[in-house]
Amino acid sequence: MKHFGIEEEITMKVAKRGFRPLGVGEVRMRIPFVKKINHIQLVDEGLVKRVRGTAAGSKINPQILNRIVTKAREVLNDYLPDVWIYTDLSKSAKGGVSSGYSVNLIAETNKDILISVDEAYEDGKTQEDNMPETIGERVALRLLDELLYVTFS
């Protein structure tokens, strides 16, 4: 947000993760009052220096998240060694009502630009499309697609 001229701290906390179909997730945000937002032109995004991510799940086997992380890292480590994907498993009331899993990846450049993609388990998709390895590979390839014109450092 500092690129838009917002210097005050913005905080966000995921209190409860919710997955389809019943959801019941909870996110708490603190956003300062802003009178004016500056316009920006992103001419040079910089070089990608690292990728961070979170594989989250609720009321599932923990091994599913590890399979997502392994496949995503397998794709991304061909381009960048600094890749960390954390796992966040909720089995109690913090996990919402429905079971499910998702992954979010964020690439950070040396000019403090963040580029993000995510994928999640979805009812209605084929079993093959919802496999943890498929989701991990798909999200990693989507991030690389977003970074197509950004150079890796």
114 within domain boundaries? yes
**Stretch 6-30: mean pLDDT:** 78
Query: Is residue 72 assigned to a domain?
Result: yes
Rounded-to-integer distance, Cα 116 and Cα 93, Å? 28
- Provide, rounded to the nearest whole percent, the portion of the chain with pLDDT above 90: 39
CA angle 69, 85, 61 (to 5 degrees): 45
Q: Is the peptide bond before 132 cis (omega within 30 degrees of 0)?
A: no
Range from 3-7, 28-32, 73-77, 137-141 carrying the lowest mean pLDDT: 3-7
Write out pLDDT tens, residues 49-72: 999 999 998 888 999 999 999 999
Residue 30 lies in a domain: no
Q: Is the pLDDT of residue 73 over 90?
A: yes
pLDDT at 35: 80
Q: Which domain holds residue 65?
A: 44-152
Percent of the chain with pLDDT over 70: 90
Q: In this structure, is residue 3 part of a structural domain?
A: no
Q: Tell me: the pLDDT tens digits for 110-141?
A: 888 889 999 988 877 787 888 999 999 999 99
Two structure tokens written together for 63: 């091994």
Number of domains the chain contains: 1
Tokens of 119: 């994928």
Domain-located, residue 21: no
DSSP for 39-102, please give it: ----S---EEEEEEEEEEEESS-HHHHHHHHHHHHHHHTTT-S-EEEEEEEE-SGGG-SS-EEE
115 assigned to some structural domain: yes
Which CATH number do you get for residue 61?
3.30.360.20
Give domain status of residue 34, yes or no.
Answer: no
18 lies in a domain? no
Total residue length of the chain: 153
Q: What whole-number distance in Å separates Cα of residue 20 and Cα of residue 121?
A: 8
| Whole-prediction pTM | 0.81
